[in-house]
Amino acid sequence: MFMALNEFKPIYLRGPIYTGKTTIVKTMSVRLGRLLVFLNLKGSFCNEDMLNTLQGLCQANCWGHFDGLDLLSYDTLSILTTHLQQV
């Protein structure tokens, strides 16, 4: 995680519920003085929604905490992956 932060790369935390993933992100954002925005994704979240969300996070210089990535369609998830690699 620390290498990704130093290189300004996104962090993808995966694991069972109640293992501390959200707590780690909250703690890191507070300690680093970054605003953290929670986003609960739904299956109806489309490509345009994803692009607008990512653009807003970048413009506001915020961190985004995405819940529900497993609910996204393949096309939307593909766009998310491509844009996070570019960011």
pLDDT-wise least confident of 13-17, 21-25, 58-62, 80-84: 80-84
Condensed to tens digits (0 to 9), the pLDDT of residues 25-71 reads 899 899 988 899 998 888 888 888 888 888 888 888 888 888 888 88
pTM for the full model?
0.65
2-86 belongs to which CATH class? alpha beta
Domain ranges of the chain: 2-86
More confident residue, 86 or 28: 28
More confident residue, 86 or 58: 58
Q: Report the C-alpha gap between 56 and 12 in whole angstroms.
A: 20
Q: Which amino acid is at 42?
A: K
* 66 three-state secondary structure: strand
CB 69 within 8 A of CB 41: yes
